[in-house]
Chain A
């Protein structure tokens, strides 16, 4: 069976673990529990006519003190950059991480998730900046781990990209 490693990256508190829990276990909890280190999950998908195992690396979020260990991305076929729509600074973190990942492992497919779409009325993120990044080739999806909106679809989309 085809097996692909993908990593979830982003600032702390953007919802990486919640997205994995929604995708793997179809559950969500409002309680915020921080991630230390890394947690690995496996999810089987069907891509086209083939079965694929996604090995999901939920990596502790970046903060002012600790940067993401990009060496953990070795062997990753793709990654998801997660941004909290209610916290504009998490977009800056995502842009910074993407640059470092690109330098460490080269160009691999990624999708940027504007998460917490259920709180869209509270979003303060700059849509102008999003448009600039889209023009630079970034693909954005609006997701909500809380409601499940666009979560399954986004993982499927990335898996399809990796299967090519």
Chain B
């Protein structure tokens, strides 16, 4: 302790008393309140009665007495008045003195600093948690991305394999198409499937020395299923694989073909077929149609403008009804002339504005004179592509030309 003169010690005590608003309580060893004084009102400790149990009147004393250590200090205790006091406990000869010193100002200052510090800490903890969550989410995303990339790679491998197989199939389909003929009848064609494999196919062959068969098949839809059926039908006609059928008789051929290719046994696919037989000696064409667009006959030489004439024929599509019957049509072909057989994909071409190319445009393109070794088939294909705009045509483009 400082060795201060009594006058200075007293002054210091007075100063402390004035600044700290002293109040005191005295509790005896039976824990009864025996004395209370100073500025008790300041702390809201009013109506205290000497003689009773101290903790009944002053709740914070509950359990604290007798003192385990002396002096003992409880810092910054909020009092009933709202003031904040440091509460000092001193044991003194069988009694405990409890001194209350006002520290409200320091408390407020400390609270503001602590509030700021805790707010900052809570914010930084929250930030750290959010960063951790983001990092976890990022890791998951990275993992998912890797898995996705692996799946994509596997898909690409599968896709490439399927593309290779499709190209292989396309090569096969093209390889079995008959080559153009020059003698004794000139036959030419253009075949542009809308996908790698289309639903169109065609063929022509001599049934005997006098009769030349020409046919075109258009199976609904595109892709592998349609192409397989189309090739099968073409092969059936090419190899004349319909029993008890005269392949010189178009109506008989379509009737037998219809019975052989009913859609419930062929993947729910149906098709349109045009089948015609040209008799070389008489120049007569016999033909029948199973829901197919009419053939077009253009008379006159290629170099001059000709007159296009559709050859009408009606009959139901192949595969829909086993009871279907077909009407055979006949006409004599003049010479010189060109006979065109085609699928609807040659003229039902959508323009970007939503309108369609029409049959008359096809007839017009095929009737115009051709000069300098050019082909009206190429002109028609160009016309379809011009009308369609960029990208592949939406339907198969197939046209056969027989020149007389």
Residues of A within 8 Å of B125, CB to CB, are: 87, 89
Since A34-B115, A36-B84, A74-B64 are in contact, a sample of 5 more A-B pairs with Cβ atoms closer than 8 Å, ordered by chain A residue number, is A13-B122, A33-B115, A39-B77, A74-B68, A124-B129
Whole-angstrom distance between the Cβ of A79 and the nearest chain B Cβ:
12
Taking a contact as CB atoms under 8 Å apart, the answer to whether A42 and B59 are in contact is yes
- Taking residues whose C-beta sits less than 8 angstroms from the other chain, chain B's interface range is 20 to 34
The residue among A4, A33, A39, A86 with the most chain B CB atoms within 10 A of its own CB is A39
Q: When chains A and B are docked, how far (Å) is the Cα of A60 from the Cα of B122?
A: 16
Q: Which residue of A lies closest to B69 (CB)?
A: A71
Partner of B75, one of A3, A37, A39, A75: A37
Within 8 A of A (CB), among B35-61: 55-56, 59-60
Taking a contact as CB atoms under 8 Å apart, the answer to whether A36 and B77 are in contact is no
Taking a contact as CB atoms under 8 Å apart, the answer to whether A36 and B74 are in contact is no
Partner of B121, one of A4, A55, A63: A63
Asked whether A76 is an interface residue with its Cβ less than 8 Å from the other chain, the reply is yes
Q: When chains A and B are docked, how far (Å) is the Cα of A55 from the Cα of B117?
A: 29
Taking a contact as CB atoms under 8 Å apart, the answer to whether B110 and A36 are in contact is yes
Taking a contact as CB atoms under 8 Å apart, the answer to whether A34 and B118 are in contact is yes
Q: Please report the total number of A residues contacting B with Cβ < 8 Å.
A: 30
Asked whether B63 is an interface residue with its Cβ less than 8 Å from the other chain, the reply is yes
Q: When chains A and B are docked, how far (Å) is the Cα of A36 from the Cα of B105?
A: 12
Chain B interfacial positions (CB closer than 8 Å to A): 55-56, 59-60, 62-65, 68-69, 72, 74-78, 84, 107, 110-111, 114-115, 117-119, 121-122, 125, 129
Whole-angstrom distance between the Cβ of A128 and the nearest chain B Cβ:
17
Q: Could you write out 20 A-B pairs with CB less than 8 Å apart?
A: A3-B55, A3-B62, A32-B118, A32-B119, A34-B111, A34-B118, A36-B111, A37-B84, A38-B74, A38-B75, A38-B78, A40-B77, A53-B59, A55-B63, A57-B60, A63-B121, A69-B75, A71-B72, A86-B129, A87-B125
Asked whether A5 is an interface residue with its Cβ less than 8 Å from the other chain, the reply is yes
Residues of A within 8 Å of B74, CB to CB, are: 37-38, 72
CB within 8 Å for A36 and B62 given contacts A13-B118, A13-B122, A124-B129: no
Q: When chains A and B are docked, how far (Å) is the Cα of A40 from the Cα of B87?
A: 13
Partner of B62, one of A5, A37, A87: A5
Whole-angstrom distance between the Cβ of A83 and the nearest chain B Cβ:
14
Q: When chains A and B are docked, how far (Å) is the Cα of A148 from the Cα of B189?
A: 87
Taking a contact as CB atoms under 8 Å apart, the answer to whether B62 and A75 are in contact is yes
Taking a contact as CB atoms under 8 Å apart, the answer to whether A37 and B107 are in contact is yes
Q: When chains A and B are docked, how far (Å) is the Cα of A71 from the Cα of B56?
A: 21
Q: When chains A and B are docked, how far (Å) is the Cα of A36 from the Cα of B129?
A: 26
Asked whether A12 is an interface residue with its Cβ less than 8 Å from the other chain, the reply is yes
Taking a contact as CB atoms under 8 Å apart, the answer to whether B59 and A55 are in contact is yes
Q: When chains A and B are docked, how far (Å) is the Cα of A34 from the Cα of B125?
A: 16
Q: Which 3 A-B pairs have the closest CB atoms?
A: A75-B63, A37-B76, A5-B63
Residues of A within 8 Å of B65, CB to CB, are: 75
Q: When chains A and B are docked, how far (Å) is the Cα of A4 from the Cα of B63?
A: 8
Q: When chains A and B are docked, how far (Å) is the Cα of A82 from the Cα of B99?
A: 31
Taking a contact as CB atoms under 8 Å apart, the answer to whether B63 and A40 are in contact is no
Residues of A within 8 Å of B64, CB to CB, are: 74-75
Residues of B within 8 Å of A114, CB to CB, are: none
Residues of B within 8 Å of A86, CB to CB, are: 129
Taking a contact as CB atoms under 8 Å apart, the answer to whether A55 and B114 are in contact is no
Q: When chains A and B are docked, how far (Å) is the Cα of A13 from the Cα of B110?
A: 16
